[in-house]
Amino acid sequence: MKVDTEKEIEEILQRVAYCAIPVNWRTDNPFPGVGNRKSTRRGPGLDFLGTALFQEGDDERHINWVATAQAGDDDEIYKTIYRQRKEIKAHIFVDVSRSMDYGSVRSTKRGVAAEVAASALYALDKTRDKVGCTVFSRDTVHEVLPTRPARLNLIPSLVEILEADTSAPSSDPNPGDGLAKAVSTLPNSRQLVFVISDFLNMSSADWDALGNLATAHDVVCIYVQDRRERALPEPGGWTARFGSLYRIQDARGESLWVWNNASTRRRWSENWKAHEASVSAAIAKCGCELLVLGTEEEDSAIEAVLNLFAGHGGGL
């Protein structure tokens, strides 16, 4: 681990969102004791499912005395049955394409992605769930960390996200379709999936893969943006009237110069709004949940992530 990476990880861990993620997946077996979802509390679960005849060997604490009295049969004793949460598995896909290295205020988009990934890992650790992490870019998959207890993947995931090198030409024999390649390794068994990206490098195969992913899994897309992608700054001084040259970064991470005047700023803003609407519509069409985060956000970003986690239902 690089010294700069270690320092950045320390700063990231001070900003993580502490909140368990509620998931409403349930076991099919109604009898207590079969649920595998681990919790900080012990017991058969809190979801009342119904009553059944008490059998020899059943826990006497589950006897439903009200139902037994209402039955009016001295030979029949009823018990309460519950249904429990399952242990869930999760996976985090983090985009580290060159466009993710852009940031004009507090952090780069890659830095925000690392913060969100750390928050998800902390949240999943609160319920003792297992999680894997895949780091990918526009052209290839850089690292796949296996599904294991979240606390074991926290630091390795952050190191891979922050240190993945995308400056060199890709060695992948089939460049492109990075997200499609990344999700192709995920098992079909249902998982809670986070895709953290700026969605600037998506191919048609990537969008198809995201849609297919959402048919089998519960997918949350974290759309990371920078304010300079949304709007160009207004120049000051004498340049305010005539405009000035301004350096920007395109989707491939390449620098280019534009003439920053009122007309350019207006077109830039209009183009971004159209692009953002198309990305949001594509994510909605895929059937994924969406959260938009900006690199300039500080405490509000943590609040947004907490609200996402706390409000996540996950379906039945």
Place of tokens 């507090």: 106
The total of structural domains in the chain comes to 2
Q: Whole-prediction pTM value?
A: 0.78
Q: Choose between 309 and 287: higher pLDDT.
A: 287
In eight-state DSSP terms, residue 238 is T
**Which of the listed residues 87, 112, 130 is the one where a domain comes to its end?**
87
Per-residue pLDDT tens digits for 57-99: 787 888 888 888 888 777 788 888 765 555 689 999 999 999 9
- Burial (CB count within 10 angstroms: exposed 0-12, middle 13-18, buried 19+), residue 33: exposed
CA atoms within 13 A on the CB side of 20: 12
Tell me: pLDDT of 33 over 50. no
Residues 148 and 58 in one domain: no
Instruction: Please state, in angstroms and rounded to a whole number, the distance separating the CA atoms of residues 28 and 49.
Output: 11
Whether the predicted pLDDT of 43 surpasses 90: no
Q: Residue 116 sits in which domain range?
A: 3-24+88-233+267-311
Whether residues 76 and 124 fall in one domain: no
The answer as to whether 316 is a domain residue is: no
- In single-letter form, the type of residue at position 219 comes to V
Mean pLDDT of 284-307: 88
Residues 152 and 220 in one domain: yes
Q: Residue 57 has what DSSP assignment? A: T
Range with the lowest mean pLDDT among 198-207, 257-266, 288-297?
A: 257-266
Same domain, yes or no: 83 and 94: no
Report the mean per-residue pLDDT for the chain: 84
The answer to the question of residue 49 being in a domain is yes
In a domain, residue 253? The reply is: no
Q: Has residue 246 been placed in a domain? A: no
